[in-house]
Amino acid sequence: MTQLTVPFFRPSFDEEEKRAVCDVIDSGWLTTGKVTHDFESEFASFTGARHALAVNSNTSGMILAMEACGIKPGKAVITTPYTFVSTAASALHLGGEVFFADIEKNSYSIDPDSIEKILKEDAGHRICAIVPVHIAGNLCNMTAITKLAEKYSTPENKIYVIEDCAHSFPSRTKNGMAGTLGDVGVFSFYATKTITTGEGGMITTNNDALASRMTKMRLHGMDRDAWDRYTSSKASWQYDIIAPGFKSNLPDILSAIGRVQLKKADLFYQKRLKTVQFYNDSFKNEDYLTLPPDGEGNAWHLYLIQINPDKLNCTRDEFAKALQDEGIGISMHFISIYNFSYWAKRYPEYNAKTLPNAERHYQNTITLPLWPDMSLKMAQKVVDTVKKIGHNHHVR
């Protein structure tokens, strides 16, 4: 196997994260407690959300958010096929169904026109949530999407907007931060995200009722968490179970890392932006490439390039393999969900013909390395390798 000279991603840690973890270990309290509550408070303050709820993954957060918004048997969500599978699978875990809207022709964002077409055809009012995904940190058209949710809501069936913010921290717009532009936002702190706790996530909302429901369902449906039960004057064994909930809480040992990473979020963004600008300047005149879309609030979590197949005598997969053979760590964001065997069998109506924009982006996109502590030497190696392969396969 080729030795990687430029890893796809490497987390940015220093002694501060190590000290924070050791402090939690020394405290004797490892599970969800004061450190997690502090992390939630700091995250809410950072984003401007009224509530922030720490969870053990974005997937857990999506399940909690969808459950609170009414996803259950007989109900459905609209989302994009151009996302990681957990976005859609979360609805199925609750017994709900999924409608896929295509993405925009010139971006990776879900297309509001495609969303509205599905809403118009929903005569049975099955749809109770729209789930836009901010791919690579570039935000969807949240103004249009929230207006659609309002337009098609009825007194009997409110349509919520649940932002999948796994890629979009710390995205800022004139209307607020990602995670506060809809009814609920769900972030990821997975190892490759813009800030990380190794595994973990955060839910944000300004809706008190949704926050209350998700808080209880996060921990078995209990009306009291462990920190409250073991530190308050009220007996630790006195609590109620209000519903069959989940086990989705984030422990203090991970929240400690998150609190340190949160303080560095803007610095990390500025470092990524320098690499993005270097990539853009280096690739802007290469006619076999299309640069990533950019818009207000772009967090630049990932750098997605599209190859232009009419300019090359190789496929995307061959281009990607050549990059790997040269020691460049790359990824693919994303394999459109309908290409997976389970989803193809469950929803045969969704395919390359019915979702042409998602298919075209999937067939032509490669994700290049991008992380805060990438050196200029590494970025130059990526650029030189891309250009070498592109020029070798260019159609003259």
DSSP string, 220-261: TTBSS-HHHHHHSSS-TT---B-S---B-BPPHHHHHHHHHH
Place of tokens 């997969």: 317
DSSP 315: -
**Pairing between strand 184-188 and 201-205?**
antiparallel
**Amino acid (1-letter code) at residue 311:** K
Q: Could you tell me the CA-to-CA distances from 54 to 120, 148, 205 in Å, in that order?
A: 36, 29, 12
Q: Which residue of the set 75, 193, 216, 381 is catalytic?
A: 193
Q: Are 108 and 360 spatial neighbours (Cβ–Cβ below 8 Å)?
A: no
DSSP 106: T
**Any catalytic annotation for residue 193?**
yes
The contacts found for 223-227 with CB under 8 angstroms, 24 or more apart, are 225/32, 225/249, 226/31, 226/32, 226/33, 227/29, 227/32, 227/33, 227/34, 227/36, 227/37
Place of tokens 């990932």: 302
Active site residues: 193
